[in-house]
Amino acid sequence: MRLLEKIGVAAMRQLDPELAHGLAIQALNAGLGPKAGPHTSERLRTQVAGLDLANPVGLGAGFDKNATALHALKGCGFGFLEVGAATPRPQDGNPKPRLFRLKEDQAAINRFGFNNQGMDVIAARLSARPKGVIGLNLGANKDSDDRAADFAKVLTSCGAYLDFATVNVSSPNTEKLRDLQGKDALAALLNGVMTANAALEKPVKVFLKIAPDLDEAALDDVAEVADASGIAAIIATNTTLDRIGLHGPHAAETGGLSGQPLFEKSTRVLAQLSTRTALPIIGVGGVGSAAQAYAKIRAGASAVQLYTALVYGGISLADDIVRGLEDLLAKDGFATVADAVGTGRSDYL
C-alpha cells in the first residue's frame, strides 16, 4: 500500500495542484486510502478542551472543504478531523489558478478565498458523519453585509453535528477578513458566536484560529479577548503572508503560505501565546514529521494539525507521525502527551 501511495503521490505532483487535490479526495472515497483508523495508546490518548482524542494529530481545515470524505478520512490515522471552511452561501472563491506547490520549500501558496458549497450542503453531509471528533471551520461570505454574523449563521446551521467549531478570522484570502482580529471587532464577533452556540440544543466547543503575522501587542489582545469570551481553545496558526527565503517559480504568488517555511514562525507564535493564556492551543504550521509535532507540543500545543505535508508525504504520513511521536514521548520519559506540553517552550521565546 505504501509503495502504491508513493507512486500515486509522485504522479499527482505532475498535475495541476487543485486538480490533484480533487483526485486525492476521490481516491480516498474509492477506498484507496488507509483503513486502520487512528493508532492510540495510553501515552497518546489525550484530552483537548474536554474532547477525548485517540491521539493528538489532527487533519487541518482546507483538505476536505465540503465534508465529502469524512468516512474515508476516519481510517487515515488522525485523532480528530476539521473540515471546511464553510460559509452561509455557496461561493466559488477566487479565480484559478489559486494553488501553487513550492516543491523546493516543501510548501504551498493558496488564495482559494473560502470556495465551498455552503452551509446547507455541508450540514447535510455532517448529519451522516462517522464517529470520532469532528469539527468545522467557520467562514464568511466575501460579499456579506455582516461578516461577523456569518460565523454565527454557519454554527447555527451545522452545530448539531459537530464536536467543535473554529472561528476563522485569519485567512489572508478574503479581503479585510483579518481586520476581525482587532480587539473590539474580535470581541463582538466571538460574542455573537457564543450566543449562537448557547442556543444550540447541545453547545459545541468553540475554537479561534489566529494568524502567524501578529505582533506581541496583538497577541496580548487576542489572549485577553479569548479568555473573556468563553471559547475553549486557540488554533495557532493559519497561513502567513511572509515570503522570506523562498525558492522556485511560484515564490512571489499572492496568498497564504503553508508548509515547512511556516514551522518556526508559527511555533514561536504558539509559544508566545501559551504564556499569555491558559487556554489549550492546537499547533498548526509546517508539521511534516514526528519531530515537528513533538516540538509544537513541547512549545505549548496540546495537539497539532497538518495538511500541506500530505501533498509531499501522502495521507499515510499522519500515521507515521503519530507512531513516531509515541516513540519520542517514550524516549524522553513522558507517560502522556499532556506531560510534555510546554516543556520546551523556552526554545521558542
The catalytic site residues sit at 171
- The amino acid occupying position 185 is A
Asked whether the beta carbons of 154 and 187 are under 8 A apart, the reply is no
Q: Which residues neighbour 249 within 8 Å (Cβ) at sequence distance 6 or greater?
A: none
Distance CA 258, CA 242 (A): 10
Decide: 60 and 287 in contact? Cβ < 8 Å: no
Q: What's the burial of 338, exposed, middle or buried (CB within 10 Å: 0-12/13-18/19+)?
A: middle
Task: Provide the CA 119 distance to its chain's centre, in angstroms.
Answer: 18
Query: Do residues 142 and 114 make contact, with C-beta atoms less than 8 angstroms apart?
Result: yes
Q: What does DSSP assign to residue 164? A: E
Do residues 39 and 319 make contact, with C-beta atoms less than 8 angstroms apart?
yes
Measured between alpha carbons, how far is 162 from 267 in angstroms, rounded to an integer? 27
Contact 172, 256 (CB under 8 A): yes
Residue burial 282-303, b: 16+ Cβ < 10 Å; e: rest: bbbbbbbbbebbbbbbbbbbbb
DSSP labels for 53-117?
ESSSEEEPTTTTTTS--HHHHGGGT-SEEEEEEE-SS-B--SPSP-EEEEGGGTEEEE---S-B-
Q: 70-101 burial by CB neighbour count: b if 16+ within 10 A, else e? A: bebbbbbbbbbbbbbbbbbebbebbeeebbbb
Per DSSP, what are the bridge partners of residue 305?
A: 58, 284
